[in-house]
Structure 1
Amino acid sequence: MKHRIILITGAGSGFGLLMAERFRRNYTVLAAVKKKEDTVKLKKYGLDFVYEMDITDESARKNMLAEIEQKFGKIDVLVNNAGFCQGGVAEALSEADWEEQMNVNVVGTAALTKEALPLLKRGREAKIIQMGSISGRIGFPGIGAYAASKFALRGLSHSLRLELLPKGIHVVHMEIGSFKTPIWNKSRTRARFYNGNDYKKLEESLEQHTEKTASSGDKPVKVINKIESVIHKKKPAFNYRTGKGVIFLTACETFLPHRAFEKIIIRQTGGKI
């Protein structure tokens, strides 16, 4: 058995799938997926330990962790990658849309982390890696629910880090920009559109931006490389930024007058003030 045991959630596609494929070469990878067809797919890719687990399902989470405890006795690295982007302006979203977004991206992630802590406490240089976003720093228009979930994840991660550092567990937040992964095509199919013309220009602009990112975003391997380097650090920092536009947007948000920054974002998304 390879010396580090890594549990990756949301391993059926995107960053999760790429991590599972890459990390299986050097680590024991435990891949958690939501759909049965993803279980079959990952096993064909050579992953031996694949668990069907909906992160919002308490019994599914606990059953998976019980199996992991029985077979491995510990987890060295937990990568909280499961999540999705609910597109749509606030006026177009239902309460159910908000609940699902927060339940997957925040509540389910927090619950799994809590339930995995006994196994992480037995791990070697244990780490919890949270897949955050630049949207956890800047609330872009048209993805308010997603931004809210990523702001919440960032706050949760910081609090957890301060709680767990004395236990020798490092919580690391990945602040990720725009990458060419399936999340963008999925967000287009899930997006809610306002019934009227009030947000027409914004919605058209966001549709174009999503299409562009899905085809020409940064290469996901940059994120995978960064995460692997974090895994090997004895004392990793809290936040790591990677991806197209992250450094630039962070600098603009930090140093520009807020009103000027707002104007830039609104103009970039088809509006004016």
Structure 2
Amino acid sequence: MNNKTAVVTGTSSGFGLITSIELAKKGFTVIATMRNGSKNTDLLLEARKYGVESKIIVHELDVTDEVSIQKFQSRISEDFGRIDILINNAGFAGAGFVEEISMEEYRKQFDTNVFGVIAVTKAFLPMMRRQGQGCIINLSSISGKVAFPGLSPYIASKHAIEGWSESLRLEMQPYGVKVVLIEPGSYKTNIWSTGKQVAIESMQSHSHYQDYMKSIESYIAQGEDSFGNPLEVAKKIAEIAEMKNPKMRYPIGRGVKASIVLKNLLPWMLWEKIIISKLFAKGGK
């Protein structure tokens, strides 16, 4: 029976919730964190459904609040003394066109998706280094490798996580701590709900980018039927959590590997033409 401990951030919904269940089913003790502890209903109902409620411990954690992180780290250190897996999943997707996105929105995006990941990881690095083992799994995205118009806050944050994770993996390799990136494509989660709220400005009639944003929205909507089941990603994360020597990157989802390869191989001007033509052919400007 697995006696390892995993910390997962952002578990009130989406990948975080399903991953927590998958890890618990494999025998991990899962410390499932969320900013608002009152939003634990869906997680606990799902845990009860699979008979793993005894393996899941819900903790409040705001990844943008240093005091919250320190309190959480102290509690885990006191109660468990170690963690084997850290899964940095908490995040949201900001959208809109650069000209119309406030600096405050960019900072909010980076506070959660980048600085939150860094701060939580730093809180547990000393513990993992002393253990001489552990695995840090960071939820990136295809957006960390391939950019797209109208989503610059999110895409910039994921590009940052990609580079930061590479550095961290090289730093921690001599100490037995592995760092892994998961790069999902489009899945049926609620990550875009916040982003659509931010993008409202670009959808207004007075916006210079309204037609362009409508094309993007239409393109995304037409592809929604092909979005993957997030369980696929959760199972992959749980699989990686049990590996002794995981790879650096795991692209996952329909067309993800092909998109990354094509972007790297094609001249930029040709790649640019393909993206724009797809948007406006389906978007119908």
TM-score band w.r.t. shorter chain: over 0.9
2:255 to 228, 240, 245: 245
1:49 to 38, 43, 57: 57
Unaligned stretches of 5+ residues in structure 1: none
Q: Which residue number in structure 2 is paired with residue 184 of structure 1?
A: 192
Q: Which residue number in structure 1 is paired with residue 246 of structure 2?
A: 236
The question of 1:161 aligning with 2:162 is answered no
Q: In the superposition, relative to structure 1, how do residues 214 and 54 fare at CA in structure 2: closer, same or farther (>3 Å)?
A: farther
Report the CA distance between 1:202 and its aligned residue. 2.0
Q: In the superposition, relative to structure 1, how do residues 60 and 197 fare at CA in structure 2: closer, same or farther (>3 Å)?
A: closer
Rounded Cα–Cα distance in structure 2 between residues aligned with 1:129 and 1:53: 18
Q: In the superposition, relative to structure 1, how do residues 213 and 55 fare at CA in structure 2: closer, same or farther (>3 Å)?
A: farther
Q: Give the counterpart letter for 1:244 in structure 2.
A: R
Q: Deviations over 1:146-168 (max 9, x none)?
A: 11100100011000000000110
Q: Give the counterpart letter for 2:91 in structure 1.
A: G
Q: Which residue number in structure 1 is paired with residue 13 of structure 2?
A: 13
Q: Secondary structure at the match of 2:86?
A: strand
1:222 to 198, 217, 232: 232
Rounded Cα–Cα distance in structure 2 between residues aligned with 1:57 and 1:228: 27
In 2, are the aligned partners of 1:84 and 1:101 still within 8 Å (CA)? yes
Q: Deviations over 1:48-73 (max 9, x none)?
A: 41111110001111111111111110
Report the CA distance between 1:248 and its aligned residue. 1.8
Taking the TM superposition and a 5 Å limit, the aligned residue runs for 1:253-272 are: 253-270=263-280
Q: In the superposition, relative to structure 1, how do residues 199 and 211 fare at CA in structure 2: closer, same or farther (>3 Å)?
A: same
Report the CA distance between 1:240 and its aligned residue. 1.0
Q: Which residue number in structure 1 is paired with residue 99 of structure 2?
A: 91
Report the CA distance between 1:106 and its aligned residue. 0.4
Rounded Cα–Cα distance in structure 2 between residues aligned with 1:30 and 1:209: 38
Q: What's the Cα RMSD here? A: 2.0
Instruction: Provide TM-score, normalisation by structure 1.
Output: 0.93
1:198 to 208, 223, 238: 208
Q: Secondary structure at the match of 1:51?
A: strand
Q: Secondary structure at the match of 2:182?
A: strand
Unaligned stretches of 5+ residues in structure 2: 48-52
Report the CA distance between 1:191 and its aligned residue. 2.4
Instruction: Provide TM-score, normalisation by structure 2.
Output: 0.89
Q: Secondary structure at the match of 1:193?
A: helix
- Aligned length in residues: 272
Report the CA distance between 1:22 and its aligned residue. 1.7
Q: Which residue number in structure 1 is paired with residue 148 of structure 2?
A: 140
Rounded Cα–Cα distance in structure 2 between residues aligned with 1:213 and 1:39: 30
In 1, are the aligned partners of 2:139 and 2:182 still within 8 Å (CA)? yes
Q: In the superposition, relative to structure 1, how do residues 245 and 113 fare at CA in structure 2: closer, same or farther (>3 Å)?
A: same
In 2, are the aligned partners of 1:130 and 1:173 still within 8 Å (CA)? yes
Rounded Cα–Cα distance in structure 2 between residues aligned with 1:48 and 1:247: 33
The structure with more helix, counted as a fraction of residues: 2
Q: Give the counterpart letter for 2:11 in structure 1.
A: A
Q: Which residue number in structure 1 is paired with residue 183 of structure 2?
A: 175
In 1, are the aligned partners of 2:13 and 2:42 still within 8 Å (CA)? no
Q: Secondary structure at the match of 1:270?
A: helix
Q: Secondary structure at the match of 1:56?
A: coil
Q: Which residue number in structure 1 is paired with residue 50 of structure 2?
A: none
Runs of 4+ in 1 over 3 A off after TM superposition: 39-45, 122-125, 209-216
